[in-house]
Structure 1
Amino acid sequence: MENNKINFFTRIGQSISNYDFYRIIVKESFGKAFGYLILFSLMISVLSCIKPVYDTNKAIGLVINHFESDIPYFELKNGELQVEGDMPIVFENENSIMVIDTRENPDESVIYGYQQGFLVTKTKMVSKEGFEKTEYTFKDFGAIDFNKKDVQKFLPSLKVFLIPIIIIGIILWTIIGKLFSSLFVSLLGVVVNSMLHGNLKYGDIYKIGIYSLTFPSIIKFIIRLMPYKIPYLSSMFFFIYYGLVILYIVKAIHSIKREGQFVGPNYN
């Protein structure tokens, strides 16, 4: 197997199933290993975008339907809000409440018995989080006039703004996370290499560490897709994840030692 002809997906499979493949890795350049890390991170991040994008698209659709059917007609003009219907309008659950009350002198204390509260009056908004209270008047936002129809026209465009932000955020977060993980794994590799008397250079350990992230990362991705949660798995998975990483590093070093490749030359 010539190292310069191994394609990306073959590298994924070989890094998972063939410990002897790590003999080839230590002969390759650092740039090739780093390129694999970026491509693998991109693949995982793009696949990870599917569910959040689907859920966001579905949630926005539900918000639009709820807004059209359940929210009464309203209009904000000259710093004053007018809402059709009987007041107050209340949305509440166990720990939070939202109240719309455009009558004169509404009772602000209605939100005080909740951990989270939000009150909309004729001239202002009052939010409460624990003991902290924040208040904004509509005039603070300047000469902004709109009504329910204007908001209805705007809501579908939320997909245009939110979905790209979600995709870019997941991709960047995944790549940055994998870069930091590779650095942490390289430190683990230094310890393992010392314990096994592998005599590998740090650059070779780093390259091994990059590929050792493959299988644990795929398992992590699959677990996140599961429709149900396994009790205590999230708290235990850190140890499972890096336990697998260490296993691959140990097996890779043993394989390299058997071939006498204590220091791998670099080839492009």
Structure 2
Amino acid sequence: MNVFKQLIVSLYSPKDIAATRHQGIGKTILFVFLLSLISIIPSAIYFSNMVTTGVEAAEDMLSSGMPDFEIKNGTLTVESNEPYIQQKDDFTIFLDGTGEMTSTDVELQTQNGFALLKNELVFVADGQSQVSPYSVMEGLAVNKQDFQGLVDSVDASLVIAIPLVVLMIYLFSSAVLFIKVTLFAVFGLLFKNSLQRTLGYRHLWRICAYCITLPTIFFTIMAAFQATVPFGSFISWFVTFLMMYMAIKEVPPEKEIIS
């Protein structure tokens, strides 16, 4: 059975999952890498679109009447008496030297964007904000022209930067999945003892690698629709434990040889 067929049957068949206990470890490792690759597709697409849209929005803002500004000695000075706001698709950029806007205001007004405020830079991604005061960058002196040069440099490097970041996301995701499989295999020892199945840790590791398929694919689909699942971690662990229990139960209780 190839890894793609195994991916499908692992969504619903504890019996087929149990049968993987004797397959080669290389094939199981390949499966985990494949599962990790599938799981990052929504976030990779979302990240790429967000960065591209953000750079385009910054370029539009800089070329469409954005007032001159300067960040010096930890303070933003703008040649305007009111906040300047530029929106492109679902990405918004704010420029406010009046001190009227706060990071909370920015987070409430956009799901994705960034803001140059009186004393801080605010970056918002998927509704979550990161705030960086200008004061932490001692000696920083940036004006509109410097900012435009930075945006142009970022735009030129996107073709390299985005794949590198996506690769880092993939490697991190793969590491997390391998750690999860390893931990679940430890809990699998409890299940195999309670069910009186003769299984070694190596067999349990293979089984658990396939037991994480259903929750991983489910949350990948939810991420693709940008849907929030309440108690997501609890649901993921519960489903994995349930699949583990049913898969181990499918293992014949007698004549199991540990190699």
Give aligned-pair identity as a percent: 15
Kindly indicate whether the alpha-carbon contact (under 8 Å) linking 2:70 and 2:78 is maintained by their aligned counterparts in 1: no
Amino acid at match of 2:230: S
Partner Cα separation in structure 2 for residue 248 and residue 33 of structure 1 = 17
Equivalent pairs counted in the alignment come to 230
Match of 1:59 in 2: 54
Q: What's the CA shift for 1:213? A: 0.7
Match of 1:187 in 2: 186
- Structure number with the bigger relative contact order (C-alpha 8 A, sep ≥ 6) is 1
Kindly indicate whether the alpha-carbon contact (under 8 Å) linking 2:211 and 2:243 is maintained by their aligned counterparts in 1: yes
Q: What's the CA shift for 1:89? A: 5.4
Kindly indicate whether the alpha-carbon contact (under 8 Å) linking 1:75 and 1:148 is maintained by their aligned counterparts in 2: no
Match of 1:245 in 2: 240
Partner Cα separation in structure 2 for residue 165 and residue 244 of structure 1 = 33
Amino acid at match of 1:42: L
Structure of larger gyration radius: 1
Q: Given the superposition, is the C-alpha separation of residues 100 and 186 from structure 1 closer, same or farther in structure 2, using an over 3 Å criterion?
A: same
Q: Given the superposition, is the C-alpha separation of residues 15 and 136 from structure 1 closer, same or farther in structure 2, using an over 3 Å criterion?
A: closer
Partner Cα separation in structure 2 for residue 57 and residue 134 of structure 1 = 25
Which of 14, 22, 25 pairs up with 2:20? 25
Deviation track 1:74-109 (CA, whole Å, cap 9, x = no partner) reads 689xx9xxx8955x45459xxxx96448xxxxxxxx
Q: What's the CA shift for 1:48? A: 3.7
Match of 2:37 in 1: 42
Partner Cα separation in structure 2 for residue 184 and residue 35 of structure 1 = 18
Partner Cα separation in structure 1 for residue 142 and residue 103 of structure 2 = 32
Q: Given the superposition, is the C-alpha separation of residues 13 and 193 from structure 1 closer, same or farther in structure 2, using an over 3 Å criterion?
A: same
Q: 1:135 aligned to 2:152?
A: no
Q: What's the CA shift for 1:168? A: 2.2
Match of 1:104 in 2: none
Amino acid at match of 2:191: V
Deviation track 1:196-217 (CA, whole Å, cap 9, x = no partner) reads 1112111111110011011110
Q: 1:166 aligned to 2:160?
A: no
Structure 1 residues not aligned, in runs of 5+: 1-5, 102-109, 120-125
Amino acid at match of 1:254: K
Partner Cα separation in structure 2 for residue 91 and residue 143 of structure 1 = 18
RMSD between superposed Cα atoms in Å: 4.0
Q: What's the CA shift for 1:238? A: 1.8
Q: Given the superposition, is the C-alpha separation of residues 174 and 59 from structure 1 closer, same or farther in structure 2, using an over 3 Å criterion?
A: same
Partner Cα separation in structure 2 for residue 158 and residue 209 of structure 1 = 40
Kindly indicate whether the alpha-carbon contact (under 8 Å) linking 2:70 and 2:142 is maintained by their aligned counterparts in 1: no
Which of 4, 7, 14 pairs up with 1:9? 4
Kindly indicate whether the alpha-carbon contact (under 8 Å) linking 2:70 and 2:143 is maintained by their aligned counterparts in 1: no
Q: Given the superposition, is the C-alpha separation of residues 200 and 90 from structure 1 closer, same or farther in structure 2, using an over 3 Å criterion?
A: same
Partner Cα separation in structure 2 for residue 219 and residue 84 of structure 1 = 47
Q: Given the superposition, is the C-alpha separation of residues 261 and 54 from structure 1 closer, same or farther in structure 2, using an over 3 Å criterion?
A: farther
Kindly indicate whether the alpha-carbon contact (under 8 Å) linking 1:193 and 1:253 is maintained by their aligned counterparts in 2: yes
Match of 1:254 in 2: 249
Q: Given the superposition, is the C-alpha separation of residues 135 and 239 from structure 1 closer, same or farther in structure 2, using an over 3 Å criterion?
A: closer
Structure 2 residues not aligned, in runs of 5+: 86-93, 105-115, 123-131
